[in-house]
Amino acid sequence: MPDPLTGGMVSVRYTYAIPLEIVYRTPLSSWNPFDLDYLDYYTPATEAQRIEALQRPQRGPNGKLTRNGGLIPSTAYNGTSYYGFFYWTPAEFYSDTAASDPADTSGAVVGVLDKQGIVRKVRASGHQIIMSGIPNIRTKLRNIRQRYPIHPLAGDKDVGLASARALKHMFTTKQSEVLLQSELNIPSSTLPFWTNPSTIARHFHRMNVVGSNIDKWVSNTTTMVTTEQENGHTHRLRILRTLDKSTGEFTYQQIDCDGLGQTCADGHSKICLTDDLC
Ligand SMILES: [Zn+2]
């Protein structure tokens, strides 16, 4: 592409860093106040290390995997590990009780033996989507959220999706009615007016401003309208349209009748949008 300053051709490269998820980390990830034993075989771990991390917390005195996180010494986990046994946070740190769903390990209180063989009640220290309740730390509506998914940006380049968004935009803007009328050839509506009754030979006239003229009728301008015939005559009215900014609606006012000023020779002095208000 041309350099905007020198005009010379320069090559441009782009890199993208697209987050798949935002995770807000907290000190809970490294807070181990009970100094619980921890197997931290992060990658690269051998298969033997992985199995040890998986099994050691569950291993009972007889070598069998009899521990399940119970709250008594015989069933409490024997230490913690990165591999599914990341339980460091003291249970009383959270205000809500343990989750009733046993599959939801994020909320469950488990027992873990510390290095002195004392059972400590702890909860999982991994990231939660919605954190469990913490006393005095709570937003107005809900507990703290730690994980947020990111909307896939890949869809922004999709032509079909762009069309759908354009259509959605059409339907949610003020121009949508005009656009639809022109695209679908819907005839424009007319705007009817009525004069008030005359003072001579009581009659009134109806008139229509056709839709195409309504669309072009700018606020604070006048337009000429010929009334329908009643009592053997018509009138040529000049009507002023003004926008009431407080309500967003237009008001209409009879300015001139047959070049004689506001009031017609037979007494029509104003117009109305319905035939029974004048
Ligand atoms: Zn008349």
Where residue 122 falls (left for φ over 0; alpha for ψ -120 to 50; beta otherwise) is beta
Between the CA of 88 and the centroid of ligand 1 the distance, in Å, is 91
pLDDT over 50 at 99, yes or no: no
Residue 83 is predicted with a pLDDT of: 80
Question: Using one digit for the tens of pLDDT, what is the confidence trace for 46-56?
Answer: 888 888 888 99
Asked if residue 80 has pLDDT above 90, the reply is yes
Q: Which residue has the higher pLDDT, 143 or 270?
A: 270
Domain with 213 in it:
191-272
Q: Is 161 contained in some domain? A: no
| CA 264 – ligand 1 centroid, Å | 7
C-alpha 185 to ligand 1 mean position (Å):
35
Q: Which two tokens stand for residue 21?
A: 């998820």
146 in Cβ contact with 129 (< 8 Å) = yes
Q: How far is the CA of 270 from the centre of ligand 1 (A)?
A: 12
Whether residue 263 is contained in a domain is answered as yes
Query: Do the domain assignments include residue 212?
Result: yes
Give me the number of domains the chain comprises. 2
End residue of a domain, out of 149, 177, 204: 149
CA–centroid distance, 120 to ligand 1, in Å, is 96
Q: Which residues surround ligand 1, an ion (CB under 5 A)?
A: 198, 266
Q: Which of 134, 149, 164 is the last residue of a domain?
A: 149
* Mean local confidence (pLDDT), 205-220: 82
- Average of per-residue pLDDT across 118-139: 85
- Does the reported pTM lie above 0.75? no
pLDDT at 179: 67
CA of 209 to the centre of ligand 1 (A): 18
Q: Is the pLDDT of residue 104 over 50?
A: no
Distance 223 CA to ligand 1 centre (A): 19
Residue 156 lies in a domain: no
pLDDT per position as a tens digit, 171-196: 766 566 666 666 776 665 678 889 99
Residue of higher predicted confidence among 232 and 119: 119
